[in-house]
Amino acid sequence: MITARVFPGLLLHAVFLFAVLAIHSRSVEAIERIRVFPVIFFPQDAKLSKGRIDSAYQKMSDSLVHVQSHFRRLLISDTFLIEQNPDKVFRSARPHRYFLGSPNAKPDSAHLMLGELLRHYGETRESTRRVYVLVYVRPGEIECSWIDKHRMCIGGGRTIDSFPEPGGGIVQMEFSSLMENKPYRFLSTVTHEIGHGFGLTHVDCFNYDMRRNDSIMSYHDAHLPAELGKGKFYGNLNPEEYALLSLHRRAFPRFRYDPALHNPTGRPISGLMRCLLGPMDSSLGLPPRKGYRLYYDGKKVSGPEAALYTYQAAEDNCRWNRKHRPGIDVGCTFNGRPLSYWRKRIPTR
């Protein structure tokens, strides 16, 4: 009989590693994660048969699972979660013209639609744990237009607040895109817009070519043919996008940015925080525990609008005040923590 030898040092290391992994797993499970939430959005004057609703919701769900799988291929260790919507639809009491009656209206359609959804589900901009992915049904399924300002197409994504803790978001898509790939292809577009929903900006902000870069956040023509069950699904992530998603701990708590893996060429990313989608405006309310706070000798002097600063705006304002306010103890926080806390967590290479 062969007796296995036990090496105490290796055994202790294994026990320690198991304990670390167990603690990390419990901490991930304790996080109230952001989830993608599909909804078919009806203004008061739009209608569809139950059969078409069921068919559309199934197609939407299948598409989101496909995008979820693609994020898994890119991140490997994590992807976003999908929360199924038992109602499938949201029916507003307001007509189409309320949301899209004027192309230059403020608040815009994204704020109006998200505001309705937050109120309906009893949430606030700060409490929501959803990226709402909605397809908008027009009355009579009239065709939208990129030219006629009275029938302007919608298609976009926004994060509610900004990095390093962006929270929930909204993605707006046309119903005709889901069902007919008009006026744009649904799968490639919703992938791009979900990226915006998680806080990513366009690649040209990082000095990549919008038409040639292979990121999902570009407008590369090779991404357009993507369709369920047909051909290769295109679109990768740039080092800056990997780095930003690693900060979104409520959406991707298991993902860790590794420069050797995600930035093998050593591209400088020290200006990461200068390329951020800003938060949505105050029509959704102000986040009481988020954003920038400025203190003079321990007393808060920043106004309520500072809650909607980006992290970079907070850094710039804090730096200016420390330079131009000699003799005053200037204190600066973002999302309730000193700016130095965030500096240590933001990747720079």
Res 226: pLDDT = 64
Share of the chain above pLDDT 90, in %: 74
Res 328: pLDDT = 96
Evaluate if residue 217 carries a pLDDT over 60: yes
Side by side, which strands form the sheet with 330-334? 299-300, 292-296, 330-334, 337-338
Chain segment 219-270, per-residue pLDDT in tens: 988 876 666 666 566 699 999 999 999 999 999 999 999 999 999 999 998 7
Distance CA 82, CA 80 (A): 7
Share of the chain above pLDDT 70, in %: 88
The owner of tokens 């954003």 is 291
Domains and CATH numbers, the chain: 31-267 (3.40.390), 286-343 (no CATH)
Mean pLDDT of 320-339: 96
Evaluate if residue 75 carries a pLDDT over 90: yes
Give the CA angle between residues 213, 216, 221 to the nearest 5°: 60
Mean pLDDT of 62-85: 95
Burial letters for 270-281: b for 16+ Cβ neighbours within 10 Å, e otherwise?
eebbebbbebbe
Structure tokens belonging to residue 19? 């304990």
Chain segment 89-141, per-residue pLDDT in tens: 999 999 999 999 887 788 999 999 999 999 999 999 999 999 999 999 999 98
Res 20: pLDDT = 42
